[in-house]
């Protein structure tokens, strides 16, 4: 797997890539990084040019000198594609990454082929507002006794308890956002973004891929009604970090959709 940096107007973006051919871009959840797709890239890369980017301010990518909104993240990914000389790509996005993918498909339709939206956040306005308030001031405040590291660890380990290795991986990636002091930027952008009005503007083929333990999945039917045409799949028995612990299920669903092997379910 190749790892590299590339320049964009907003700063350097770190990415991992595997394979050749038609591009498939992976966009990660908030406060994580392209590490989320490490187990998926080799398998997808056997048939496609699989690329996973650290979104601006996350992982090993540069921190912007402003607090980005969802639209800024999407614009930067367009600049990232420009730098790689990719005119059009398939996109696989999870949670925060799925929201970026929706924004890209709605605003830059000529740059997007197919979309796989994993656990897309579409919830009631009051739920979204509560989440925004909860994460509004999210940051790591350093403590002399190092207790702030335990706080970060507990946040990755709990709700529900996850395997120690997965919690360790998530903690390391969380702390890469300016040592955790700006890990809240991506969460805040996700929760103030109203994805609903953008969904009806999507012209690309869409696969809604939800894990059965994700908070947003009960509104799957509501999302389907807003997208002109889409397929949907629910992955059962998913853990807190599903792409790490159930990579085969995600790879199969993604490849089946990209290769037109999924049944098309009308969104309306």
The CA distance from 214 to 38, in Å, is 21
- pLDDT tens for each residue of 92-143: 999 999 999 999 999 999 999 999 999 999 887 777 778 777 777 788 999 9
**Strand (E) or helix (H) holding 118:** strand 112-118
* SS3 readout for 3-66: EEEEEECCEEEEEEEECCCCEEEEECCCCCCHHHHCCCHHHHCCCCEEEEECCCCCCCCCCCCC
Question: Does the pLDDT at position 89 exceed 90?
Answer: yes
Range name among 28-32, 147-151, 221-225 with the lowest pLDDT average: 221-225
Q: What pLDDT score was predicted for residue 268? A: 34
**Strand (E) or helix (H) holding 265:** strand 265-266
Average pLDDT over residues 57-86: 97
Average pLDDT over residues 148-164: 87
Taken in order of first residue, the domains within the chain and their CATH numbers are: 2-123+194-266 (3.40.50.1820)
Average pLDDT over residues 199-222: 87
Q: What pLDDT score was predicted for residue 43? A: 98
**Beta pairing partners, 2:** 17
Q: What pLDDT score was predicted for residue 63? A: 97
Average pLDDT over residues 235-262: 90
**Following DSSP, what letter does each residue of 246-263 receive, concatenated?**
-HHHHHHHHHHHHTT-SP
Q: What pLDDT score was predicted for residue 118? A: 95
Whole-number CA gyration radius for the chain: 17
Residue 22: pLDDT band with limits 50, 70, 90: very high
Residue 188 and residue 132 in contact, taking contact as beta carbons nearer than 8 Å: yes
Residue 212: pLDDT band with limits 50, 70, 90: confident
pTM over 0.75, yes/no? yes
Average pLDDT over residues 194-209: 94
Q: What pLDDT score was predicted for residue 159? A: 67
Residue 62 and residue 56 in contact, taking contact as beta carbons nearer than 8 Å: yes
Residue 239 and residue 162 in contact, taking contact as beta carbons nearer than 8 Å: yes
Q: DSSP letter for 177, please.
A: T
- pLDDT tens for each residue of 249-268: 999 999 999 998 754 443 33
């Amino acid at each position: 797997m190749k790892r590299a940096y590339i320049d964009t107007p907003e700063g350097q973006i770190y990415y991992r890539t595997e394979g050749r051919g038609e591009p498939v871009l992976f966009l990660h959840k908030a406060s994580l990084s392209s590490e989320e797709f490490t187990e998926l890239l080799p398998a997808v890369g056997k048939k496609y040019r699989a690329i996973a980017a650290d979104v601006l301010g996350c992982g090993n990518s540069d921190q912007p000198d402003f607090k980005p909104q969802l639209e800024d993240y999407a614009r930067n990914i367009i600049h990232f594609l420009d730098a790689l000389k990719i005119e059009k790509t398939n996109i696989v996005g999870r949670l925060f990454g799925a929201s970026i993918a929706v924004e890209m498909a709605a605003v830059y339709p000529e740059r997007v082929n197919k979309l796989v939206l994993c656990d897309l956040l579409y919830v009631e306005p009051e739920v979204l507002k509560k989440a925004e308030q909860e994460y509004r001031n999210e940051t790591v405040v350093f403590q002399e006794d190092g207790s702030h590291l335990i706080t970060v660890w507990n946040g990755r380990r709990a709700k529900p308890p996850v395997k120690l290795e997965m919690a360790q991986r998530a903690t390391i990636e969380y702390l890469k956002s300016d040592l955790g002091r700006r890990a809240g930027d991506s969460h805040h952008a996700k929760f103030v973004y109203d994805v609903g009005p953008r969904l009806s503007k999507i012209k690309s083929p869409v696969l809604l891929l939800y894990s059965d333990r994700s908070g947003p999945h009960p509104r799957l039917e509501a999302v389907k009604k807003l997208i002109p045409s889409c397929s949907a799949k629910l992955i059962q028995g998913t853990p807190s970090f599903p792409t790490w612990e159930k990579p085969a299920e995600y790879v199969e669903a993604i490849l089946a959709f990209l290769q037109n092997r999924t049944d098309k379910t009308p969104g309306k």
